[in-house]
Amino acid sequence: MDRLGRWFGRSKNPPAEEPSATGDPEVEEAAPPASGVGEAHQEPSPAASPPAVPGEAAPAANASGGLRGIWEATRRLALTPVDPFFEKMAEGLNRTRQNLVGQVVDLFRSHARIDEELWEELEAILLTADVGVGATDRILEALRGSVREKKLREPSELLDELREVMGRILGADTPQVGALKVEKGRVNVVLMVGVNGTGKTTTTAKLAHHYQKQGFKVLLAAADTFRAAAIDQLQVWADRVGVDLVRHREGSDPAAVVYDAIAAAQARGADLVLVDTAGRLHSKANLMEELKKIRRVSGKDLPGAPHEVLLVLDATTGQNALEQARVFHQVTELTGLVLCKLDGTARGGIIVAIAQEFQIPVKYIGVGEGLEDLQPFVPQQFLEALFNQRSGAGEERRDGQGEPAGKASEDPGS
């Protein structure tokens, strides 16, 4: 009984006091409660480790820091703020995670050593996930270098190296790599460009909402004058977000709309003009020339404009997005990318391919239809979500359940 009493801290002869957990000798530990009737069912404090009993082995929990350590770790986890967008991004990247990280993990588990066969299989996985030839070559070269320099022997050691290399490609070491170059107190002009069906108009509205929440006075310009429906759609979004819209009749000169929008912004004290241009195929030379004209006109009326040219891409198109970026960059000198529909594709590796090919920063990513589902791209956060095996298929397959990595059905219509 005396041993049990000491275990629960109620012994008449408790063990000598241990130093304060705070490390400060002036901070006194609370005295153990006196034993007696009415305390028989008192539970020990979860924050306190039970004292050792002479002649007995310490409880197993002490091997990892004791009950105090377990309690503190649990408390920190429970108090860690949950970022709703991070959770949604992690969920939205499930298919890409299965197609890329899940297969890589399976590959490393199936190989006992790092050999040429492993390198060949890893190359095939990266290319299948639309990481691209250039980025794949860079990744493999960097991993081979790590093996030589760090004397790596186990394939599992390559996973952290892979994440680090992808981080460098995505600009994880560059502070605020995705921040738009917009400032309050001046008129900032941002052109939104892209092909039909990428979600360009919706993305324009989401950006308006995002910057309005940051205190910017936003104005939209309906420069897609080829379709009356496009103008009406942007009007609906403008009303929903609560911002002004400058619009002309169908068939008007898009450059004239931009000219009037800049003038309106200057007169109304607006900080940000978001220009929704017509969706156009990157192979149509006349429509691409129209973008050049819009750029020239905005620069004449407002020196330095446009301050940003954002290409909106549909992640589900895979390598076709790479070709779109190439042609639009030649015509409009892109300053950033917006990658939408990441939640509906296994081809999220395209974000790495584009970053490697053009060194154009990804400014925003979208993983849903809501106004809050477009957020600034943070490479470290993206990698954390992508390599989060707790949400990935790799964990599900440990018991033999679930679909093998990389065998997910292809995107509809891709």
pLDDT at res. 174:
76
Q: Which residues contact 35 (CB under 8 A, 6 or more apart)?
A: 5, 10, 11, 12
Are residues 329 and 292 in contact, defined by beta-carbon separation less than 8 angstroms? Answer: no
Cis peptide before 361 (omega within 30 of 0): no
Residue entry with tokens 């002649």 = 55
Nearest Cα to 361, choosing from 172, 188, 143?
A: 172
Q: Is 153 helix (H, G, I), strand (E, B) or coil?
A: coil
Q: Where are the beta strands (DSSP E) in 233-281?
A: 244-246, 272-277
Residue 59 has pLDDT above 50, yes or no: no
Residues 193/291, Cβ–Cβ less than 8 Å: yes
Q: What is the mean pLDDT of residues 333-343?
A: 90
- In this structure, what is the dihedral angle of CA atoms 291, 303, 180, 190, given to the nearest 10 degrees? -30
For helices 133-150 and 158-170, angle between their N-to-C axes, nearest 10 degrees: 130
Ramachandran angles phi, psi of 192, nearest 5°: -105, 120
At 237-273, the pLDDT tens digits run 999 999 999 999 999 999 999 999 999 999 999 999 9
Supply the mean pLDDT for the chain: 79
Name which residue leads in pLDDT, 284 or 32: 284
For residue 33, the 8-state DSSP code is P
- Strands ordered across the beta sheet of 336-340: 244-246, 218-223, 272-277, 188-193, 308-314, 336-340, 362-366, 374-376
Of 46, 60, 45, 48, nearest in space to 21 by CA: 48
Q: Give me the pLDDT at residue 43, please.
A: 44
Across 40-64, average pLDDT: 44
In sequence order, the β-bridge partners of residue 218 are: 272
Cβ-contact 387, 90 below 8 angstroms: no
**Percentage of residues of the chain with pLDDT beyond 70:** 71
pLDDT at 177: 63
Contact of 197 with 203, CB cutoff 8 Å: no
Q: What is the pLDDT of residue 178?
A: 63
For residues 343 and 368, give the distance between their C-alpha atoms in angstroms, rounded to a whole number: 7
What the block records as the tokens of 368 is 């849903």
What single DSSP character describes residue 216?
-
Q: Write out the H or E segment, with its range, that includes residue 210.
A: helix 200-213
